[in-house]
Structures are given as structure tokens and as C-alpha cells.
Structure 1
Amino acid sequence: MGEPQQGALESLSLVQLAANAIRRMILAGELAEGERLIEERLTEQLGISRPPLREALRVLEQEGLIVTRPRRGSMVATLTDQDVFEILTLRSALERLAIELGVPVQVPERLKVAQEALLEMERCAEAQDRGSLVQAGYRFHSSLVALAGHRRLEEAYASVQQQLLLCMARNLYAREHYHEGLPEHVARHRYLLELVEAGNPAAVLAELAVHGERSFSELQSNVGKRSASSS
């Protein structure tokens, strides 16, 4: 499906198509954290009526991407700094365990999934499609977790998928303000995959340490300082 502005969505799976479009807008930062979702605006933008829009919003609420309050309507979910800390430290712990168990890679098919996810990230970066890039980035990281061949580990990672997507979207936004473009964002992931392919778990873990929550916290701090100094 093209950009949501380009005409009405097709009637087939209308609710899911609308949910996909709004999800991409949230992850691209076009709809900001805490922003109220105006039904009139969205129905016009997506070319749909209110019933399928409201059902799509319920889908996104179940995913945790939006929250709905009585008499206040729906708004984009907001993550506190503590939320981000907990989500990203959990992600790092799960990914470290996956690398310890899964590198060197014993099943080439698992590595192929990561390679395909990276290719999708490259396509999204070239198209400047930030929302889809965030989702491809999640698929890349979940494919690294899958290298371990550990079902319960994969289920634990998947259980925080939507929260991770919000963190990854915020991470991408912070890095862009810190002058990391989309090609550089993808290049960091390409380097990480090259280390995985080389079969050196220590090198992969070292890169993950600067790739994950530590670097994100530093970026958030730097962005905050910039905002304070310019206000």
C-alpha cells in the first residue's frame, strides 16, 4: 500500500490496512507521543468511514501503540524514561543471551532471515520510509534472537514487540537529531550482521553494548541538553 494520503484505502481488509497506515505514522513520528487522534482528520486522510477507523484504533490499542480514555478519545501512547529503561535493558539481556547461544550460527536458514530483514531496512531507508524502517529494524533484531533456536526466548522477545517498536522509533528520531541519517542507521545494523556472520560472539556482544540502551540513553541526554540550551 502506498502513502495514506494517496487516495482511499481498498475495502479488502480495510480495518487492517487502516491500522497499518496509522501504525506507520506513529512509528515515523508523524503522530507524536501523546498526540490526540482526531477521527475527522484520519477518516479524511485515509479515505475511510468512522466504523472501520474505530476498529483499527481498537487494534492499535490492543497492541499498546495508542491509549483510549473515556470522554478524551484516543491518543498515541507515551513512554516514560523508566519505561524506556526497562524495555531496552530487557531487550539487551534477551539479545545477549541469544548471541551467546546462537553465534557462531549453526543453522544457515536463520541467518538468511536476518539478511533479508537488513535488505528491507536498506529499501526503507532509500525510500525515506521511517515507519516501515522501524518495523524492519524490529524484524532484524528479532531475527538475531531467533539465531539461538530457543522458542521461549523468542516468545519473551515478541511479548514486548510493540513497546520495542515505540522505543526504536524514539531511538531513530533521537539519532536523526544527532545527525545520523537513515543510511548511517542501516550501516550500523549491517556492521552488526557482519560480526554475526564472522562467528565471533565476543565481538557481536561488544557491538551490541554500544548499539543498544547505553548509546540510546546517551543520545537522549544529548538531545535533552540541546533542547534546554535552545529554549
Structure 2
Amino acid sequence: MPTREEHADQAVSLRGSVTQALRERIVTGDLAPGTRVVERQVAEQLGVSRVPVREALRTLEREGFLEERATRGMVVRRLDPDDVAMLFAVREALETVLSQRLVDVLDDDGLARLDDLVVTAEQHLAAGRQGEAVRCNADFHAVLVDLADSRVLTSIIEPVAGRMAWLLNQHAAPAEIIEEHRSIVAALRSRDAGRAAAEFRDHLASSRRAVAQLEAGLTT
């Protein structure tokens, strides 16, 4: 019979799984901004009770993915311009730290993982699988954080990275991103911290321009 501690661990694990499942649906655009997220429906879809769903919704509200409205309940947020500007500012500061850490710790196996992701994204794009190329490009950033091998850095970057992925899931130029990722890998391979930081900044600036163009298109 499970102990009280084991029950508590199971509850935390279930809540985390539900939170991750919902976060992924928001980040990938499956749940678009303005979509209602109904506790009962989510529980039925995931085959769980409503308790971990309720806790997951509150977690995602604190993370900024959801907001509670008086007439509609929980809905997926749409980031306002101030949110977007601050998100890019925070990400730029974190990537300065990340690039330095990677220059210090990245080995040949890690570089090979990054090379493989760039090549795979390129192959998907060449075969007309744009959605797969976009997902592969997103994986590139997750692997960068993993290769940094720092629990502190991971815990700080992951929430921001999730929101960046959410913001950029409609990026219209995966080919451009692939080339920028190739430049980042080359800079990391050179072990030049300044060059690596510059490549990260250029990549972020490109993403900022893409978001600005997307937002301009939505408002015209």
C-alpha cells in the first residue's frame, strides 16, 4: 500500500504531466489565444480527475499562459506589446549567460547533437515538411539549454523559453532560422564567447523582426 509520501509524489507528478500537456498545446498553437480552457473538458480529454487540472490551470495562469475572465473563465492569453518587449529583453539577458556557459562546457558530442538538429531541420524543409522543420528548430533551443548542464540556468530559462516558443510558433522563415542555428553552432565550435554571444543576439533580433512583421500583418 502506498505511503502518504508516495501519494504526494504521485499527485505532484500527475499535476506536472497535466501542466506540461496543456502548456505544449498552447505553445504549439493547438490552443490559440482567446480559447476557453474548461476544467471538466480537459479532465475528460486527459483521463484524469479535475483536481490536477485545476492545479495545472492555476500554474499556467501564474506563468502567464492563461488568464481568468469574469464571463468566460480561463482563456489562453494574447501577449500585449509590453509583454513581448519584456520577453525579448529577458531572453537576451539569459542568452548572454547561456552562450558563455556553452562555450565553457560544450564537448564534441554536444556539438554533434546540434549539427544533427540543423541537418534534420534542413531535410524536413527540403521535403516540404515545414511543420517538422519548425518543431526541429524549437528543439534546437531546448537542446542548447540541456547541453548547458546547469540546474539553475535550466530552471530560470525554461519558463521563458516556453513563452518564446509560444510567441514564435508562427515564424514564417524556417530556412532563415536554420542558417542562424548553423552560425550559432559554428561560433560555439570556435570557443569564442564574444562571437557566440553576437550570434545569439543576431538570432534574437531576427526573431524580434519576424514577430513585428507578424503583428503588423494581424493589424492590417
TM-score (norm 1): 0.65
**Structure 1 residues 139 and 66, CA, compared in 2 at 3 Å: closer, same or farther?**
same
Asked whether the 8 Å contact 1:134–1:165 carries over to 2, the reply is: no
More helix as a share of residues: 2
Distance in structure 2 (CA, Å) of the matches to 1:133 and 1:81: 27
Aligned to 1:57: 57
**Structure 1 residues 132 and 196, CA, compared in 2 at 3 Å: closer, same or farther?**
same
Matched residue of 1:75: which SS?
strand
Distance in structure 2 (CA, Å) of the matches to 1:163 and 1:50: 27
Aligned to 2:216: 225
The residue correspondences of 1:59-138 to structure 2 (distance < 5 A) are: 59-69=59-69, 72-99=72-99, 101-102=100-101, 105-108=103-106, 112=109, 116=113, 128=131, 136-138=139-141
Distance in structure 2 (CA, Å) of the matches to 1:71 and 1:228: 26
Asked whether the 8 Å contact 2:121–2:178 carries over to 1, the reply is: no
Matched residue of 1:203: which SS?
helix
Asked whether the 8 Å contact 2:67–2:77 carries over to 1, the reply is: yes
Asked whether the 8 Å contact 1:25–1:131 carries over to 2, the reply is: no
Distance in structure 2 (CA, Å) of the matches to 1:191 and 1:57: 38
1:121 offset after TM fit, Å?
8.4
Aligned to 1:159: 156
1:209 offset after TM fit, Å?
2.6
Q: Sequence identity of aligned pairs in percent?
A: 25
1:124 offset after TM fit, Å?
9.0
Q: CA RMSD in A?
A: 4.0
**Structure 1 residues 123 and 23, CA, compared in 2 at 3 Å: closer, same or farther?**
farther
Per-residue CA deviations over 1:135-173 (Å, capped at 9, x if unaligned) read 7354344357x48x8x8xx55x74363244212321231
**Structure 1 residues 108 and 216, CA, compared in 2 at 3 Å: closer, same or farther?**
closer
1:134 offset after TM fit, Å?
7.9
- 5+ residue gaps, structure 2, are 1-10
Distance in structure 2 (CA, Å) of the matches to 1:131 and 1:18: 24
1:191 aligns with 2:183: yes
1:170 corresponds to which of 167, 171, 186: 167
Q: How many residues align?
A: 204
Distance in structure 2 (CA, Å) of the matches to 1:43 and 1:131: 29
Asked whether the 8 Å contact 1:28–1:130 carries over to 2, the reply is: no
Asked whether the 8 Å contact 1:114–1:140 carries over to 2, the reply is: no
Aligned to 2:46: 46
**Structure 1 residues 70 and 161, CA, compared in 2 at 3 Å: closer, same or farther?**
farther
Q: Amino acid of the residue matched to residue 207 of structure 1?
A: E
Matched residue of 1:162: which SS?
helix
**Structure 1 residues 193 and 74, CA, compared in 2 at 3 Å: closer, same or farther?**
same
Asked whether the 8 Å contact 1:196–1:204 carries over to 2, the reply is: yes
1:192 offset after TM fit, Å?
1.0
Q: Amino acid of the residue matched to residue 139 of structure 1?
A: A
TM-score (norm 2): 0.68
